[in-house]
């Protein structure tokens, strides 16, 4: 009888172990499925990141080109005094040259405070 009792205990433990493994196997399978989906999502995001980095690099190069083009000083327009052919053209060019040499009036400094001019007239509140 002792032998039968021992065999029964072993059988019960085997059944309990098998039932316990089935529950953990299902959890393991679901975890593997989640891992697969997260891995594929990560790979897709890496691809998007690489494409965005390439686009940023291209745009930065374009900005640098535009800034370099904007920073170049404007080339002066050729004047009539550069290659005069007749005496009258020389005289006209000499008169026009001092007018072109005068600098443009200085721009008043911009302020961020309230307006300093007085408002008058119909639309003033």
Residue 55: per-residue pLDDT: 97
The one-character DSSP state at 84 is -
Q: How much is the pLDDT for 62?
A: 96
State the Cα–Cα distance between residues 109 and 103, nearest whole angstrom: 17
Whole-number pLDDT of residue 106: 55
pLDDT of residue 95: 59
- Blockwise average pLDDT, block size 10, the chain, 125 residues: 75 70 83 96 97 97 94 68 54 55 54 60 63
Q: Which residues contact 81 (CB under 8 A, 6 or more apart)?
A: 90, 93, 94, 96, 97
Dist. CA 95–CA 82, nearest whole Å: 14
**pTM, 2 dp:** 0.39
Maximum Cα–Cα distance for the chain, whole Å?
A: 140
At residue 24, the pLDDT reads 84
Matching residue, tokens 């953990």: 24
């Amino acid at each position: 009888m002792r032998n039968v009792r021992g065999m029964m205990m072993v059988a019960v433990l085997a059944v309990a172990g098998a039932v316990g493994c089935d529950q953990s196997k299902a959890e393991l399978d679901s975890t593997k499925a989640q891992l697969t989906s997260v891995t594929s999502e990560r790979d897709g995001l890496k691809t998007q990141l690489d494409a965005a980095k390439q686009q940023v690099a291209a745009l930065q190069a374009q900005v640098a080109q535009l800034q370099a083009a904007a920073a170049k000083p404007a080339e002066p327009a050729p004047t009539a005094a550069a290659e005069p052919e007749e005496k009258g053209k020389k005289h006209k060019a000499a008169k026009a040259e001092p007018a072109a040499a005068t600098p443009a009036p200085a721009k008043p400094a911009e302020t961020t405070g309230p307006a300093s001019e007085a408002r008058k007239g119909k639309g003033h509140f």
